């Protein structure tokens, strides 16, 4: 491979995968190979959770690492007990560590043995995976290229290329459909695409597949079932904005999807569907902040994922300084459908949305439902009702950053622009259901510990604010005036959405669950 600066994180992955860690000698050798300073190599490697740096004189980690997810859904399912039991039982043969949400909330608790997720894990299933050497995930049973094309896939892309469909006309269709960005912000897709009009070339499309929001696994579902619908949407977007390159930034917790996409991207290229558009697949390395679009761009460039100040905006100067369109996986999933079936079809379907539902329901998983669906409908009509012995108490409508709503608000449409008056938002549509057996204090503390761990540290309001908020939450009595002041400072002064949204669970607790937190 070329020794390009932007491939630094890919090279760090190669070493980590091959040796199980990054030693001081590895980092020194890589610095010499890439003609970079050792400080530059170290500061990048040390930023990401999935790189195990072993300094001179330190002991190398165990050959196999077992990662126990401590995300909110897994904590509710007994992750603390699982971590303790695994530490006692296998702690001498494998390294056991806690990690944030790994996108397996539908089968909590989850342990990752090597690279393979063990769902509904207990000591016996993890021990069996270790003894069997079952540490590499198999490929998902996804729809193959030939079946997708037989059903009309890539037809709209071909029309765009041969002039049968105009790019401006497709953007008009996206606008008529009111398609929004499904990564969390809900920004109108058509308007975002139009930002690229008249910008300099070359242009680039960046696909944000780094869904690190606790409770979110819908992008995983898209790739595991219909990867070509996402690739189709990406190629359509690249054709419309005249981009020469597509970069897919995939979270590192999904190695099975990485292997699948390598195969399917090669198939698409061989079929001539990419037609001069280069598709690059890049691995994240365990940093939630890289789900923030400018942090993702920095990571693709081989740097620490520190969010950028704006302006300039990505449409003006994004990846490698080029005008850049950034879309979420689910957004492109619907682009392919709208390009094939038209905006009226999307509207008739109720502007469908993919909801990741987990927690105290009988059948957690991804639900495809109209944007105006309520949490009560999700529970009763799509998830088989509440889990046995549990009564609905509260829910996260949009993952860790979307706030908390009580069961009394079960009739609110889960759509963009509806929940803001209650201090919440639908975000990435990660819906986590709580029952009377869950304590709101514990839920809020779990979410804020996540933000404290995942703050990139670039700005003081977020870095220090998250840490101080956790300390305040750990007190027997919550100091509301002080926490309100801290929340305001974090919201007003943080550079990006992590610090701005981190106080949402705290404020929701004061607003709706005051009786529980005295």
Go through 117-144 and write b for each residue having 16 or more CB atoms within 10 A of its CB, e for each that does not: bbeebeeeebbebbeeeebebeebebbe
Between CA 390 and CA 483 the distance in angstroms is 31
Cβ 59 vs Cβ 52: under 8 Å: no
Give all strands (DSSP E) within 38-170, no chain letters: 53-54, 65-69, 95-99, 111-113, 116-118
Q: Over the stretch 159-202, which tens digit does the pLDDT of each residue have?
A: 999 999 999 999 999 999 999 999 988 999 999 999 999 999 99
Q: Is the pLDDT of residue 102 over 90?
A: yes
Signed CA dihedral, 255, 261, 264, 265: sign only: negative
Q: Over the stretch 304-325, which tens digit does the pLDDT of each residue have?
A: 999 999 999 999 999 999 999 9
Same fold across 146-345 and 351-436? no
Nearest to 253 by CA among 74, 121, 67, 120: 67
Strand order in the sheet with 203-209: 278-283, 243-250, 203-209, 324-328
Go through 493-513 and write b for each residue having 16 or more CB atoms within 10 A of its CB, e for each that does not: ebbbbbbbbbbbbbbbbbebb
Q: Over the stretch 411-464, which tens digit does the pLDDT of each residue have?
A: 999 999 999 999 999 999 999 999 999 999 999 999 999 999 999 999 999 999
Between CA 90 and CA 127 the distance in angstroms is 7
* pLDDT for res 447: 98
We find that the CATH architecture of domain 351-436 is Roll (3.10)
Nearest to 145 by CA among 157, 162, 160, 161: 157
**Where does 439-518 sit in CATH, by number?**
1.20.1440.230
Q: Where are the domains of the chain?
A: 5-54, 65-132, 146-345, 351-436, 439-518
- What stretch of H or E contains 278? strand 278-283
Cβ 203 vs Cβ 323: under 8 Å: yes
Q: Whole-number mean pLDDT of the chain?
A: 96
Q: Is the pLDDT of residue 207 over 80?
A: yes
Between CA 229 and CA 447 the distance in angstroms is 33
Secondary-structure class of domain 146-345 per CATH:
alpha beta
Q: Is the pLDDT of residue 62 over 90?
A: no
Between CA 423 and CA 53 the distance in angstroms is 40
DSSP 118: E
* pLDDT for res 517: 80
SS3 content of the chain, % helix, strand, coil (to 5): 45, 15, 40
* pLDDT for res 518: 66
Average pLDDT value for residue range 223-246 = 98
Of all residues in the chain, the percent with pLDDT exceeding 90 is 96
Listed as own residue / partner, the contacts of 152-156 with beta carbons closer than 8 Å and 24 or more positions apart are 152/340, 153/228, 153/229, 153/232, 153/336, 153/340, 154/228, 154/232, 154/235, 154/273, 155/340, 156/232, 156/236, 156/336, 156/339, 156/340
Secondary-structure class of domain 65-132 per CATH:
alpha beta
Q: Is the pLDDT of residue 472 over 70?
A: yes
**Where does 5-54 sit in CATH, by number?**
1.10.10.1590
Average pLDDT value for residue range 209-235 = 97
Between CA 432 and CA 364 the distance in angstroms is 9
- What stretch of H or E contains 247? strand 243-250
Q: What are phi and psi of 397, to 5 degrees?
A: -85, -20
């Amino acid at each position: 491979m070329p020794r390009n600066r932007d491939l630094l994180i890919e090279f760090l992955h190669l070493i980590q995968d091959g040796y199980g860690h990054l030693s001081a000698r590895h980092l020194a050798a890589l610095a010499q190979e890439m003609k970079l300073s050792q400080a530059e190599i170290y500061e990048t490697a040390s930023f990401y959770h999935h790189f195990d740096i072993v300094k001179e004189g330190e002991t190398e980690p165990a050959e196999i690492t077992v990662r126990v997810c401590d995300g909110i859904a897994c904590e509710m399912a007994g992750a603390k007990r699982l971590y303790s039991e695994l530490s006692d039982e296998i702690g001498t043969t494998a390294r056991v560590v806690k990690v944030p949400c790994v996108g397996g909330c539908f089968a909590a608790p989850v342990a990752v043995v090597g690279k393979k997720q063990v769902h509904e894990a207990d000591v016996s299933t993890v021990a069996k995976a270790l003894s069997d050497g079952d540490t590499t995930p198999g490929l998902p049973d996804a729809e193959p290229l030939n079946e997708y094309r037989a059903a009309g896939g890539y037809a709209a892309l071909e029309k765009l290329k041969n002039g049968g469909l105009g790019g401006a006309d497709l953007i008009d269709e996206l606008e008529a459909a009111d398609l929004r960005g499904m990564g969390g912000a809900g920004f109108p897709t058509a308007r975002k695409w139009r930002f690229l009009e008249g910008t300099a070339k070359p242009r680039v499309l960046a696909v944000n597949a780094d869904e690190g929001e606790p409770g979110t696994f819908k992008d995983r579902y898209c790739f595991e079932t219909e990867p070509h619908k996402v690739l189709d949407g990406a190629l359509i977007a690249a054709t419309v904005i005249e981009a020469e390159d597509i970069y897919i930034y995939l979270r590192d917790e999904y190695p099975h999807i990485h292997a699948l996409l390598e195969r399917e991207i090669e198939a698409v290229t061989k079929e001539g569907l990419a037609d001069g558009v280069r598709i690059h697949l890049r691995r994240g390395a365990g940093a939630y902040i890289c789900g923030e679009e400018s942090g993702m761009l920095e990571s693709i460039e081989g740097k620490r994922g520190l969010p950028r100040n704006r302006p300039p905006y990505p449409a003006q100067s994004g990846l490698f300084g080029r005008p850049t369109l950034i879309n979420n996986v689910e957004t492109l999933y619907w682009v392919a459908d709208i390009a094939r079936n038209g905006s009226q079809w999307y509207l008739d379907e109720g502007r469908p949305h993919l909801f990741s539902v987990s927690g105290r329901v009988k059948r957690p998983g991804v639900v495809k439902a109209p944007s105006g669906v309520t949490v009560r409908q999700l529970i009763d009509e799509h998830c088989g009702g509440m889990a046995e012995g549990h009564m609905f108490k509260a829910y996260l409508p949009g993952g860790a950053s979307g706030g908390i709503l009580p069961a009394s608000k079960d009739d609110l449409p889960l759509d963009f622009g509806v929940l803001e008056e209650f201090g919440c938002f639908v975000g990435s549509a990660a819906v986590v259901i709580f029952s009377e057996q869950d304590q709101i204090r514990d839920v809020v503390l779990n979410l804020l510990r996540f933000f404290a761990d995942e703050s990139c540290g670039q700005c003081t309001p977020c870095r220090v604010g998250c840490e101080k908020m956790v300390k305040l939450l750990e007190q027997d009595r919550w100091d509301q005036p002080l926490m309100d002041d801290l929340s305001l400072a974090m919201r007003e002064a943080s550079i990006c959405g992590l610090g701005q949204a981190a106080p949402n669970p705290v404020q929701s607790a004061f607003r709706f669950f005051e009786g529980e937190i005295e």
